[in-house]
Structures are given as structure tokens and as C-alpha cells.
Structure 1
């Protein structure tokens, strides 16, 4: 069987949509949708997943901007986190820290990370004490046995160790800071980057052969994949669906 090669470039936002398509189609996610619970924690990548699964754009809270870590500027009633159970969608922002301990084996929690390392460690920035309700809920979803999936783009891979970053980062005692001063709390689960997404979406072998660029390519990734022609063609069609997509999330909360 002939091996076919393809190279393609994904901007950061296109990578989010590729990851979202892979996670939305994962068997454990589909199984939890049929017979369990799925919790989605707000973030642009997770909102892409939510929009694909149930057509619901999540509220985006903290985000990184050229001015640093910033909150949303406009009030919106859109939920930051949702529970999907028995085909019903429910906003859970006011109860997530008490609801999460009810999650268990067979249930899925999907939460993005702000950084991860080559050892598989990931963490989330906390702009409020302890990460507020979601900070407490994150510990619960890990301890009760829920299946935690962490969709995160390659642009968030850091040099060094997430554990060292968590020991160093703090909210208090920062004299100068762009945007909010932030600490970090850990997130433990299965990391899905664009590389894992490619493998989930098609039977091909991916390799990163370039990073970054200019004129909108900043932070993006150049990939090469190889595999059977039908699989490469399948991936090519999926990649085309990720092009020219909007940023995931409730538009009002993105301001």
C-alpha cells in the first residue's frame, strides 16, 4: 500500500477546532453523552467542543491578551460551565464545586489548560483566590474518578516544568503585573494536543516540522503526516473544516 505524505499549517485558532473535532468524537465522550454525565469548563477550545456537541457557546472568563491576563469586560448570562446529562444542558457555574463530587467512573469532565509540559503535567491560571468555585471543583473531579480530558494547543507547551511554575507563580506580593496577577493550580488528566487530535481523526503518523510565523501565523504549527491515501484524504477534509472558523465562545464575553 502506497504511503502518501501531506503538509499543512494550522493557526492557533484552527488548531483549537481540530482538537475540538477529535475530542467531540472520542468514544468515551460519546459514551458519557449516551449514559453518563459530561461537564465542560469554559475556555475557547472547550467552547469549540461544546458548540460541536450541543451548539452552545460557553462564556469566556479570564483570557491572555497583549495587555496580560484579563477578565471579560461585558456581562453575559451565558454559562461558563455546563453539564450535559440525558440530552439536557444545564449551566452549573453556581453549583459546580458541590456538583463535581457526584461525578464518577463513566463520566467525563473536559477542561482546558493554560500551560503544559513534556512530562504530561498541566495547570490553570487562577486570577481569583484558589481559582474560586472551579478551582475547588477541579480537585473534586480528579479525586472522584471522572475521566478528565485536557484539550490544549501546542502553543501552550512550556520549556521546563509545570510543577516548578506552580511553585513559583503567586497572586500575592506581585509589585508589577500586566493585567491580573495570577497563580496556578494543577489539572490532571489526558492531554489532547493537535498531535493527538490528528491520530484520533485519521490513521496517519504526524510530525511537527515548523512552529510560529507572521501575519496571523504567530503561534501556529506546520505538520507533516504520512499514511494510506484514504486516511490522508480524510484528514485533509477535516483540516479544511477547521479553516476560517470564528474564535470559540460567547461573542459578548470575548470582549
Structure 2
């Protein structure tokens, strides 16, 4: 039987986070190894569900953000670093130093700004040094550690590689918001709503449409093949609960606090 439904972005983030937390490699690293969770809106849900800790100050755990009519960033003075977890305990330490101790089986979780149909993901970089992913990727690649990338289908673009060739902080001359670069990554474990449904329920899903109005902007419309009526109805009930999630509201950095040249102000 076929079940169809729409998920708005905030609901999709929670669904994807549930799937990330359920992954055997994440559970194993949480119990016996190390995990780094990068800042980001979906990763807030990942951290909360993994640790049972409620994050009250969302802006402190988000770096780049598209909000208030601009692609910008939160206030760096109020921002916390990436989460470091060792054997189930949150560790207050420099995340990059923590990452240098990674061994096989340890887990790095980083959100993304884009995904394409080929499975490549893309990350906007407002830092000329490449930000979190720019500092981490060499360590991860050389040690054979595959980054886990939670990313919603609302972020689907034609080609991450084409975006990478086009963008660059020093290429950008006229901008509303921050100047940004773009890093395209292949060979990651990207988890969208489709992978999340497979992980959580063992079902196959197809994206059939996208978009919406009246609070459903950025939604994805999915068709899911269910084996039983009970499974189909249970899935729809979960979706109804998820869609009650309120959209995340964040404030970007104030223009008066920003040193980047921008045509927004």
C-alpha cells in the first residue's frame, strides 16, 4: 500500500535527527568512542535526542543561517563551539584537538546547505579558512572516517560541484548577506527524509513534489511504500505529530556588529 504526506522543514529535521541517532555506528560511538557534532539547526535536534539534553539558546549552536531576508550568520560573540562527546559524556574541549584523537569507529556529524541528485552535499563557508568542514575534512579523509551529513530535501540543488566552481568569498562583489564560498563533498553518508524513513521504518520513499504556503513553505511531498495497513497508518500518525513542530526562529548577527561589506544595510 502507498502512503503520501508532506513534511515541513522543521518536522523533517526532527525525523532526520531520529534516524541519525538510531544509526548503529552512532550508538556504538556514543557508548564507547568519540563523536563530534557540528553546529546547525538539524544537529541541535541530533544532540538533544542523542543526549537527552534540551538546548535553550538555539543561536549559540548555529553558525551560518538564512533568515531575516539574508544569508548571514549568528553573532559570533554569543556562539558556542561544536559538541564533543566521549563515551556518552559531553566534553568541554577544543573540538579540533578532540578530532585529532579520532580512531576507526568514531563519528563526525555535520549539517549541509545543499544536496544534489548524485548524492553530493554542499556546505556554504563564510570563513576564509573553510570553517568546521575545511578544518576537519583532511583528518577525516586520511583516517577513512565517513562524515554523516543530515540534510533535508528542501536543500536539493542541480549540482553541488557547479556551485563550488561558481562561488568564492573573494569572488563575491555584490551581496545581500555574507560573502560565502562553497565546498562540495562526495563519499559522505547523507541522510535525507528518504534515508531516515528507511532507517526508522524499513520503507522505501520517493519524493514527488516540494514547496508550500501558509507554514508549509519548503515542504517535501513523499510517497512511501508500506507493507501493512498498520505500518501506513502508524507512519501518518507520526507525520501528524512531527508537523506540529513549530518553525525554528533564529536571529542573525546585527548589521552594526558585522564587518563584512554587504548591500543589505
The TM-score bracket by the shorter chain reads: 0.7 to 0.9
Q: Which of 150, 154, 168 is 2:166 aligned to?
A: 168
* 1:39 pairs with 2:40: no
Query: What pairs up with 1:209-220 in 2 under 5 angstroms?
Result: 209-220=208-219
Q: 1:176 to 1:253 in 2, by over 3 A?
A: closer
Q: What secondary structure is seen at the aligned counterpart in 1 of 2:174? A: coil
> 1:116 touches 1:122 (CA, 8 Å); kept in 2?
yes
1:16 aligns with 2:13: yes
| 2:4 aligns with one of 7, 17, 32 | 7
Query: 2:258 matched to which residue of 1?
Result: none
Q: Which runs of 5+ in 2 are unaligned?
A: 255-265
Q: Aligned partners of 1:204, 1:175: CA distance in 2, in Å?
A: 46
Query: Over aligned residues, Cα RMSD in angstroms?
Result: 2.4
Q: CA deviation at 1:66?
A: 4.8
Q: 1:56 to 1:108 in 2, by over 3 A?
A: farther
Per-residue deviation, 1:129: 0.9
Q: Give, in angstroms, the shift of residue 12 of structure 1.
A: 1.1
- Mark the CA change 1:252 to 1:168 in structure 2 (over 3 Å): closer, same or farther: closer
SS in structure 2 opposite 1:102? coil
Aligned length: 247
Question: How far does residue 62 in structure 1 lie from its aligned partner after superposition?
Answer: 1.1
TM-score relative to the length of structure 2 = 0.84
Deviations 1:102-133 (A, max 9, x none): 21311111101111211121121111112245
Offset of 1:163 from its aligned partner?
1.6
Alignment of 1:1-255 (within 5 A): 4-54=1-51, 55-57=53-55, 59-73=61-75, 75-76=77-78, 79-92=80-93, 95-132=94-131, 134-159=133-158, 161-188=159-186, 189-227=188-226, 228-247=228-247
Q: Is the 8 A contact 1:76 1:252 kept in 2?
A: no
Uncovered stretches (5+) of structure 1, i.e. residues with no partner: none
Is the Cα–Cα contact under 8 Å of residues 104 and 145 in structure 1 kept in the other structure? no
How far did 1:239 drift? 2.4
Q: 1:246 to 1:80 in 2, by over 3 A?
A: farther
